[in-house]
Each structure stands twice: as C-alpha cells, then as structure tokens.
A and B are shown apart, each in its own frame.
Chain A
Amino acid sequence: MTAMIGLLPSESETRRLDVISVGEFFGEINWFGKPLSETDDFDSPDVPYETVGHFFATFPWHGPALNSAPASWDIAEDDESVPVETDTLTLEDLSALF
C-alpha cells in the first residue's frame, strides 16, 4: 500500500504536466457549501462549485444544447426516488389494495 502511494505523482509534478488528479478534481467541489467570493464565474476551473448540485448541473446530460445555464441551477428532483407514501408501505398495505 505504501509503495502504491509512493508511485503517485507529487502535486508539483501533476501541475507541471497539466494533468489534474482525481483528488484535485474533487477538491474543486465546494463540498461544505462555503460562501463563494464575489465572482460567479462557474465556468472557470479555478473557482470551486458552490454545491455538488451545481457541479453536476454543469454536465451536458441532455446534450450540449440543453445544458443548464447557471441561472437555472435549482436542485433537480430525483425521478428514481420512491415517493414517501410508497416508501412507508408494507405487504399488508399492498394486500388491502387488491
């Protein structure tokens, strides 16, 4: 394990090669939602994303044409989540419906 860590490029080497490591990639996300500075330039890779939601909102999920603009960065509803009323059902509840 120690040997594997030793093989990882140092931070300076990574920057010199202009390759971003996974750690740096995730480090750009403002996981704790700290208030951002005055700049709102989310396109700049040097500016952390305000939330994880913002980060994923920059993905072209529906193709480049439908990519979300920063103004529409609302928290998206998860279509696959189970509705609350379904989530509390038991077999007995289901049985009563048939």
Chain B
Amino acid sequence: MDIPSAHSHRLRQQYPQRHNHYKFSDFFQFNTSEGTISDWNGSRNILTSEDFIIGLLEGLEEEVGAASAAVMYSIGLEWGKQDSLFFDQWFEREYKVSPQQANLMFLLETWWWPFTAQGWGRWEIDMADRTQGFMFINLFDSAVARTLGDVGKPVCYLYAGLYAGFFTEMVRKQLSCIEIQCYSMGETYCKFLLGARERIDAAAFWLNEGATASDIEKRLRSGDSV
C-alpha cells in the first residue's frame, strides 16, 4: 500500500453510499493502461509474492542482523501512523462521523477490513483487559508468518509496529506493541500485546526468558512488572 492514488475508484463513484465493497473485484481497481492497482479508498496497491516477503526479510537480516526486527517494527510504526491519518479521512468521508465519536469496535473493524481484503489476514481484538491498560490482538493468517512457516520465533514485527503506530495516533498516547505468540512458532495464530511502553518492555523481557503467551497474560493480569 502506498499514498492515496490520483485514481478515483469508478465503482465507488457509482455507489458512493456502499459499505460492503470488500469483494476482490469491487475493492480493487486495476488500471491496466498504467499498470497500477488502486483500491476503494484511493490507496495504491501492489501485488507481491511470498518470495518477495522472504527476500525482504532475509535480505534485511543479512544486512543488519538482529536489528532487522527493529527495522521492520519501525517501518510498521511509521506505516501505522501514516495510515491512521489516511483512515481518519476516509472513515469520516464514508460514514459522516468523526472517528473520535464512532463506536470503537465498529471503527476498528472498519480500519482492518481493507487489510483483510489486501491479504494481511483477519484479526480479533480482545479488550477484556483494557481497564488494566493493555489489550490483545489476535491475528489469523499473518502474511509474514504464513510465508516464513515454522521458524521457531516471532516474525511479525511489521504488524506489531503497524498496531503500535495506528493506536498511538488514534488514542493520542504513546503505545507499543509486541508479538507474544506467532504462527511461526508453531501456534495456530499470532497474538499481539498492545499497551504502554514499560508494560511491553516487561513482556519482551519475559518472552526472552522463555515465557509463553499464556504466562505473560497471567503475569500482566496479576500486575507483575520486571
């Protein structure tokens, strides 16, 4: 995904009030004369192969070693921040209500639907612990994890950064995110913890010490800190 394209979506122009537009043939517009793909919101898209994802991650790791995780997180963070601004615009344009006044779950589901259509996977937000200042995001079919397969460690740093960046902008608080369970660790889905930086740092410490997602959840709920 790139900055909003100059291409306006023809189907959207035809049906401006339509909200169920996430079918592949509806959501994307293939501008064959220019070789570009734009989506319903005017965002530029590119198609990539699994080889591209593997090449990107392995190439980066070869260049910067273990810092590749931080680089991917930073890319995701910036992406999330930029996307929150973009989302602000198209959400208000489509639903005629400010994101700040919208129903939270509706808002968040609306934000993620384009990502689902683009192949980034489905998600589920677990806000049961929100009063303690953290929440979990379950991601199914992570594009990164399902490409890399079972490598025995978390690999979805791009997503963690994306969530951190988006929520930081949306709630106007500095938030961090960490993947505490990953499909690439042999799990059935990826699980992210979102919260204040000190809490995420504690979770990162426990994760490095060998704690499982379940262990981390228990420690957070009991108010543990490093």
Contacts and interface: CB of A to CB of B under 8 A. Distances in A.
Contact of B173 (A87, A89, A95): A95
A1 interface: no
Interface size band for B? 10 to 19
B154 interface: no
A87 to B, nearest CB: 6
B56 to A, nearest CB: 31
A97 B105 CA distance: 15
Interface residues of A, number: 13
Nearest to A88: B103
Interface stretch (B7-15, B94-102, B209-217): B94-102
B32 interface: no
Interface string B136-175: 0000000000000000000000000000000000111101
A98 B164 CA distance: 13
19 contacts: A82-B105, A86-B104, A86-B105, A86-B127, A87-B105, A89-B127, A90-B101, A90-B103, A90-B104, A91-B99, A91-B102, A91-B170, A91-B171, A93-B104, A95-B171, A98-B133, A98-B171, A98-B175, A98-B196
